[in-house]
């Protein structure tokens, strides 16, 4: 199952992922339309700065997912794709999910006391944030695939360190 992976050394902090996320979750699905909508759409990922690096924080779709486990209304469930999704009609706005999320990536709808989180773009093959990233800091890949790429690059570093 593919996940969104982050290569933190590549993030320039341009926020294009956030714009694409909000546009994808708007009614018009177009930038010039989305900014005029009321209530406006919310993006579901965030960029923080730590130790001089830009760190995109995205929902990890954990399993078990602390947010789903903690949801007293049963509004957060896992869908057929394995993504942890939220049914806003059942949400009671108790914010327990916000309190337990290890990444702090559950937000609030603009107009209502309802939680909002990443749904890994149900209508898209590749999530909007990944598609929008100009430096490919965000990747949509199988964990094994991502790990293999990391191993390959680290192997090179190791050779340099041990034999160089």
Contact residues for another protein, defined by CB under 8 A: 14-16, 18-20, 22-23, 31-32, 34-35, 40-43, 107, 110, 131-132, 134
Distances (CA, A) of 156 to 10, 62, 139, 152, 162: 19, 31, 21, 7, 10
CB of 96 to another protein, least distance (A): 21
In the complex, the smallest distance separating the C-beta of residue 63 from another protein, rounded to whole angstroms, is 27
> Least separation, in Å, of the C-beta of 120 and another protein?
19
Query: Are 11 and 53 in contact, with CB atoms under 8 Å apart?
Result: yes
Here the tokens at position 74 are: 């049963």
> Hey, what are 47's tokens?
């960029």
The terminus-to-terminus CA distance of the chain in angstroms comes to 38
Q: Which is nearer to another protein, 6 or 21 (CB)?
A: 21
Give 93 or 131: the residue with its C-beta nearer to another protein: 131
Task: Give the nearer residue to another protein in terms of CB position, either 3 or 24.
Answer: 24
Tokens (6 digits) for 3: 């996940």
User: Given the complex with another protein, which of 67 and 130 has the nearer CB atom?
Assistant: 130
């Amino acid at each position: 199952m593919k996940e969104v992976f982050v290569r933190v050394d590549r993030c320039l902090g341009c926020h294009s992922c956030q714009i694409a996320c909000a546009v994808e979750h708007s009614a018009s699905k177009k930038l010039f339309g989305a900014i005029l909508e009321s209530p406006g759409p919310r993006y579901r990922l965030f960029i923080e700065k730590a130790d001089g690096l830009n760190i995109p924080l995205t929902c990890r779709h954990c399993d078990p997912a602390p947010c789903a486990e903690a949801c007293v209304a049963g509004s957060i469930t896992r869908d057929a794709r394995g993504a942890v999704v939220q049914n806003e009609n059942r949400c009671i706005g108790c914010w327990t999910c916000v309190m337990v999320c290890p990444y702090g990536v559950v937000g609030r709808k603009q107009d209502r006391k309802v939680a909002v989180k990443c749904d890994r773009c149900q209508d898209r093959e590749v999530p909007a944030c990944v598609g929008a990233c100009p430096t490919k800091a965000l990747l949509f890949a199988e964990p094994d695939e991502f790990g293999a790429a990391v191993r390959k690059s680290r192997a090179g570093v190791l050779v340099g360190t041990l034999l160089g």
